[in-house]
Structure 1
Amino acid sequence: MFKSKKLVTVAAALAGLLFGLDIGIIAGALPFISQDWQLSIAQQEWIVSTMMLGATLGSIANSWLSSRLGRKFSLLWGGILFAVGTLGCAFSINIHMMLIFRVIQGFSIGIASYAAPLYLSEMSDKAVRGKKIAMYQVMVNVGIVLAFLSDTFFSLFDSWRAMFAVLVIPAAILIIAVWMMPKSPRWLAAKGRMSEAKTILLSLRQSEREAHQEFQDIVASLKVKESGFQLFKANKNFRRSVTLGIALQFMQQFTGMNILMYYAPTIFKMAGFASHMQQMISTIFVGLAFVIATSLVSQVVDTWGRKPALKIGFAIMGAGMFCLGLLLEMIHNGDHNPLFGYLSVVMAIVCIVGYAMSAAPMVWILCSEIQPLKGRDFGVACSTTMNWVSNMVLGATFLSLLNGIGTGNTFWLYAGLNIIFIGVTILFVPETKGIELEHIEANLMHGKKLRDLGVTEANIDNATLSIN
């Protein structure tokens, strides 16, 4: 059925590549679209944020799609819709047509951002689960950098249409790769297809004994009678994990890091870089820092842990956002020292490094780990929907915030939120490295505090899961 376990990681992570390409492509294309169609600030925000609207709808719909068709075919449909949306954007003749296809494009990204981390969490061995899911985020960042490079090249020809059209190539690769992937054994087991689930586990794990034990844990977790929304209504412990997942995605977005991706050229123009080429080169440096930092963190995520990374990352982002706001405020007030422009790029890189080592991969990892099997589709759908709703709010308000409360105050607002998120992490976020998904579920269903979901105890019996 498939030749290598590596295909699972590579094929699923290709969904992250499309995610990153879509984030990065609009940063370079927007100035040219705005110039061609004479767009207002509000219309520019619509072009950015309608993708998030589509992604929100996609993540909601995928709760049903992933449950009925499985993670594999969710990703397949995501790739197909991405190709349709991308071509539609490339051939749009007015802003109304562009907005429609941006929603379609976003819908596909909503599917991918939901299904890929979920699929990887269910397919990966516990010892490397964090690394595999972090690979998804690495590919997101690679996609962002490739989009920035592509934008820079096509900007030489003022061709924003080509910036979109070229994305059909990775979409086609994703469709082919996903077709070759196996189905999730946990999804198969949830559908009663036990023989298929066990066969895939035997192919994925290092030993027959390991695969057999994991299969038994999966079977035990299926003894919970309710599932999805019914489980959410009946089980207060499941409501806790859903709430934590939603909070984590809210925190990830309101670090403010994605505004550095969506509006990078605009921000660097504020920093004093006059030409579009200067703005794009600065943007590429930010993207490269993103890739390098996430790649390094992905190698240690299963030894370093989720919680320490989040605390350190929020602190770095808070300090970086504060300094970036201070520099841009000084430039805005008439201090045109060229050094401030370069320092602004450095601070943007500091922010992105903090994000890449913490909230960017860790939130996706945690959200896919903390939900019980019978409620995983519903729980991940809720948290992913919050990600895109928050993302949409950011994209739709950034330029308005700059005009309303000022440059410095906008960035200082995000700096303050990052500091608050450190406290939330200390109080509520669990450490889940190296822990079986079914063990985390057992802790949750036994009513342990959220921050203790990763605590290991020899006397926990997964077969005694009960509804509280």
Structure 2
Amino acid sequence: MDMNTPLTTNKMAKDSAKRMTFLIGFSAAMAGLLFGLDIGVIAGALPFITIEFELTTQLQEWVVSSMMLGAAFGALSNGWLSFYLGRKYSLLAGALFFIISCFGSALAANVEILLVWRVILGFAVGIASYTAPLYLSEMAPENIRGKMIAAYQLLVTIGILVAFLSDTYFSYTGDWRMMLGIISVPAIILFIVVIFLPNSPRWLASKGRLNETQKVLASIRSDPQKIQQEFNDIKDSLQEKQQGWTLFKANKNVRRTVYLGMALQAMQQFTGMNIIMYYAPKIFSLAGFESTQQQMVATIIVGLTFVLATFIAIFTVDKLGRKPILKVGFGIMALGTLILGVCLQLIENGNPSSITSYAAVGMAIMCIGGYAMSAAPVVWILCSEIQPLKSRDFGVTCSTATNWISNMIIGATFLTLLSHIGVAQTFWLYTGMNVLFIFIVIFFVPETKNISLERIEKNLMLGKKLRHIGDVD
């Protein structure tokens, strides 16, 4: 067959688009892996850091939460960086900060220096958590957009699991420096891969670079008719003259969706699930598992659950939708934290038993499963979908910064809550939060499956209620 026939040309275009989509997905996956590694690694490293630097409870909380402080600054700064330099170069900057801060943390001579490097590491995490979902939402076809962003979250969970496994391996020698330093390897890989990525077509269009927009669309889509339609939709969304903070101040519809994104990210954190990640050994010691090896094995089981449950989101988020998954997930977390609190209360009251201890671990695992299949991936999906193009950088900046500020709050207060209001009461507080979140999802969160970003934006600007901005009609 002649190599220039339409059939052959079409096949070549499809193959090229698949390769580029794979590369985009791989780079986002590496960003997610790094995100997860840095969340999970501190759980195993903290006990050994505490011994070496003789940390107080407050300093332990700061070692955990300092990364979230840096992540909040990273997310805020990346709004500017992503707006002016684009998603690609934001990811490059994030990868570079990852590499530098991993080495710095591993070589820290005292807790003060470690805290500085943890803040810088958080800065890199903030950039990655902001840019990767946003980049995917702007590059992925609408019918698999949710699946691709959920796959990014899957790599976050795999990163957490790998960190737990790595921590367990190095726990036998207590080498917390290797726990922190080995994360530089995937950071180097991310830096190399991102060099070969294209810029987001929507970012290019927002800068008036329409010829480049068409070229990028042609490299990631294979159907000429769909390429032209998507290009036209992107141009139409550029008609709004204001943007960013100016548009936020001037347009109440934009304010509504920015506030919704911030609320969703706060909800994700105040489920309390990241507490189980950061303080897993501590929680399992409260449940009656005394040895470091027992605590680390239980922690690995939690990480494995996180990975496996994320597959539920990947295979259902574009079929069942975002809202049903969120409602089920918050319900599971509410029930899990309720029973976990009861188990820990029984143990604290002097009624320990192997059944109660294993039930506590089971409830922690159930909580993580509910989180992994719902709020962990779906909140990032929604926050990258609901913001209009002209205020997307600003909106995602606000929501991502809210995530990390909320994350910092729960990381810096958990041990204090345990000592002031009690172990069981702390988890029951999270139970009440999760019940509240179910009602917020019902009355305010839209269903966005299989809807183009431009259609969501149009519905928003028409003044539809937030829960209806994903409607087709």
Task: Give the TM-score range, shorter chain.
Answer: over 0.9
Q: Runs ≥4 in structure 1, deviation > 3 angstroms?
A: none
Q: Equivalents in 1 of 2:25, 2:41: separation in Å?
A: 24
Alignment of 1:15-34 (within 5 A): 15-34=31-50
Give the letter for the 1:13 counterpart.
A
Deviates more, 1:268-277 or 1:1-10: 1-10
Q: Equivalents in 1 of 2:471, 2:352: separation in Å?
A: 53
Give the letter for the 1:332 counterpart.
E
Give the letter for the 1:253 counterpart.
Q
Give the letter for the 1:372 counterpart.
P
Q: Equivalents in 2 of 1:180, 1:392: separation in Å?
A: 34
Q: Equivalents in 1 of 2:124, 2:229: separation in Å?
A: 36
Residue equivalent to 1:417: 433
1:88 equivalenced with 2:91 (yes/no): no
2:255 to 220, 239, 243: 239
2:343 to 314, 324, 327: 327
1:181-216 per-position Cα deviation (integer Å, ceiling 9, x unaligned) = 111000001011111111111221230100110110
Aligned partners of 1:12 and 1:178 also within 8 Å = no
Q: Equivalents in 2 of 1:262, 1:174: separation in Å?
A: 25
Secondary structure (helix, strand or coil) at the match of 2:208 reads coil
Q: Equivalents in 1 of 2:345, 2:56: separation in Å?
A: 23
1:318 to 314, 317, 334: 334
1:125 equivalenced with 2:141 (yes/no): yes
Give the letter for the 2:25 counterpart.
T
Deviates more, 1:206-215 or 1:445-454: 206-215
Q: Equivalents in 2 of 1:282, 1:250: separation in Å?
A: 27
Alignment of 1:33-44 (within 5 A): 33-44=49-60
Residue equivalent to 1:104: 120
Alignment of 1:321-400 (within 5 A): 321-400=337-416
Q: Equivalents in 1 of 2:286, 2:225: separation in Å?
A: 60
Unmatched runs of 5 consecutive residues or more in structure 1:
458-468
- Percent identity of the aligned residues? 58
Give the letter for the 1:81 counterpart.
F
1:204 to 209, 217, 220: 220
Q: Equivalents in 1 of 2:289, 2:438: separation in Å?
A: 33
1:51-101 per-position Cα deviation (integer Å, ceiling 9, x unaligned) = 000000000000000001101110111011011111111010111000000
Q: Equivalents in 1 of 2:213, 2:343: separation in Å?
A: 55
Q: Equivalents in 1 of 2:121, 2:69: separation in Å?
A: 10
Q: Equivalents in 2 of 1:84, 1:144: separation in Å?
A: 20
Query: How much has 1:230 moved relative to structure 2?
Result: 0.5
Alignment of 1:68-467 (within 5 A): 68-457=84-473
Q: Equivalents in 1 of 2:311, 2:83: separation in Å?
A: 31
TM-score under structure 2 normalisation? 0.96
Query: How much has 1:333 moved relative to structure 2?
Result: 1.4
Residue equivalent to 2:10: none
Q: Equivalents in 2 of 1:334, 1:179: separation in Å?
A: 58
1:51 equivalenced with 2:67 (yes/no): yes
Secondary structure (helix, strand or coil) at the match of 1:375 reads helix
Q: Equivalents in 2 of 1:251, 1:387: separation in Å?
A: 9
Q: Equivalents in 2 of 1:362, 1:158: separation in Å?
A: 36
TM-score under structure 1 normalisation? 0.97
Secondary structure (helix, strand or coil) at the match of 1:392 reads helix
Query: How much has 1:137 moved relative to structure 2?
Result: 0.5
1:296-352 per-position Cα deviation (integer Å, ceiling 9, x unaligned) = 321221011000000110000000000111111111111120111111111111001
1:142-185 per-position Cα deviation (integer Å, ceiling 9, x unaligned) = 00000000000000111000101111101111111111111100
The root-mean-square deviation of aligned C-alpha atoms, in Å, is 0.9
Secondary structure (helix, strand or coil) at the match of 1:302 reads coil
Q: Equivalents in 1 of 2:29, 2:94: separation in Å?
A: 13
Aligned partners of 1:366 and 1:432 also within 8 Å = yes
Secondary structure (helix, strand or coil) at the match of 2:447 reads coil
Q: Equivalents in 2 of 1:326, 1:49: separation in Å?
A: 27
Q: Equivalents in 1 of 2:58, 2:353: separation in Å?
A: 31
Q: Equivalents in 2 of 1:82, 1:332: separation in Å?
A: 41
Secondary structure (helix, strand or coil) at the match of 1:58 reads helix
Aligned partners of 1:70 and 1:187 also within 8 Å = yes
Give the letter for the 2:320 counterpart.
W
Give the letter for the 2:154 counterpart.
V
Query: How much has 1:4 moved relative to structure 2?
Result: 2.6
